[in-house]
Structure 1
């Protein structure tokens, strides 16, 4: 079975990982087991759920804009810090260039509700309010006992805080992911500006194609991706100018 993914120039084939082999997914950087998509000559591997992840999605943690799937970090450092768990990433990510939001692929599909043996009630995924929590009292994870960061996601008890104050890190609560969790949100796109027109030979939104017309979400994602590229170019130009100016004094 052949498969083509936008992040890799070669055709991928279904590959069975043998016992003892160590293959790491280029989408999430975790080890691969069973069957994966592979380009053996490039040592490129993708889990099924990483290879079939939506090119964009509407995520409840960031309702202002669709998040765009990037095959590699767009920052000069070659990495990003995940807004969900706070850990760095160097593989696939969902991002919003306008708001500087970056999510690991697996964090973007954390289940909304989980159970854990450390607590008797369901735990629900909680997103921080803009600016983070205002409480001055430090909170500590009820599982690993390490300090919580109010700017990151967490799982908390579905009961009210007054009734049951239980909050934990996302990575302490679960390793489960729900691929395709937010596909149903595509039918309710958020307001977004229309994509910029192009006077060149590119196909306009009004023209038909083999894939059909762009949906409002796809148009918004394309617009955001274009803005992301413009921001990168401006950043590179600023760095070049700063380097040129400094060299005059050396």
Structure 2
């Protein structure tokens, strides 16, 4: 059965990845397993959760504005840094043009609750600053699974029963819970705690409007870079 995805010009076909094959998803840039959507002439592949991800969602981590699924970053650098995990990306992302929020697809659909074999209790996702769980003078802490730095500005899983048990999202789980947040509202009963942009009015934007905002953002960034380049050129010529 053919499948048409907005990010690709050709129809895709379902394909079962064979053992030993190394096919990389064009949506999240990680390796594919099980069934994928495939366009062999273009070497284009999508995990099912990337291919079926909603075009836009209202995510509880950013409740004021919709997050729009874009096939590639609109920044001049052609890349983005995920606000959830901190890792860079240059393919699919959920974005808020107004607040410059960018999420990997798999980070946008992290399950609110997970279990891990290294800990006896259930862990809950926190999208607020993990440092809020620690003393205010401690900006960062250590992941209890990998024993590496867990930066305060990124999301984490924590245990409500144990003091300061915090872990990276990617250390806690690889699960993607697609469909967790509907297009028009995040109604899941276990929704993640909200932390929107304080002081900003709630705005309802259409998908086309948000895409246009991203185009405007790109133009402004290009104009700013050009102005800086010209300023540097003028100063050099006067020296």
What's the TM-score, normalizing by structure 1?
Answer: 0.80
Give the Cα separation in 1 of the matches to 2:104 and 2:183. Answer: 20
1:1-250 to 2 correspondences below 5 Å: 1-129=1-129, 133=132, 135-137=136-138, 138-159=140-161, 164-183=163-182, 185-186=184-185, 191-193=202-204, 219-247=205-233, 249=236
Give the Cα separation in 2 of the matches to 1:70 and 1:3. Answer: 18
CA contact (8 A) 2:25 2:46 kept: yes
**CA-CA distance at 1:191 after TM superposition:** 4.2
Q: Deviations over 1:26-55 (max 9, x none)?
A: 011111123211111110001111011011
Uncovered stretches (5+) of structure 2, i.e. residues with no partner: 188-200
Secondary structure (helix, strand or coil) at the match of 2:6 reads coil
Rg larger for: 1
Give the Cα separation in 1 of the matches to 2:9 and 2:45. Answer: 13
Per the alignment, residue 214 of structure 1 pairs with: none
Give the Cα separation in 2 of the matches to 1:111 and 1:96. Answer: 21
Give the Cα separation in 2 of the matches to 1:114 and 1:67. Answer: 24
**CA-CA distance at 1:117 after TM superposition:** 1.6
Uncovered stretches (5+) of structure 1, i.e. residues with no partner: 194-218
**CA-CA distance at 1:17 after TM superposition:** 2.2
Give the Cα separation in 1 of the matches to 2:55 and 2:151. Answer: 29
Which structure is higher in RCO with an 8 Å CA cutoff and minimum separation 6?
A: 2
Query: Size of the alignment, in residue pairs?
Result: 220
Distance 1:184 1:227, change over 3 A: closer
CA contact (8 A) 2:128 2:155 kept: yes
Give the Cα separation in 2 of the matches to 1:187 and 1:93. Answer: 18
What's the TM-score, normalizing by structure 2?
Answer: 0.83
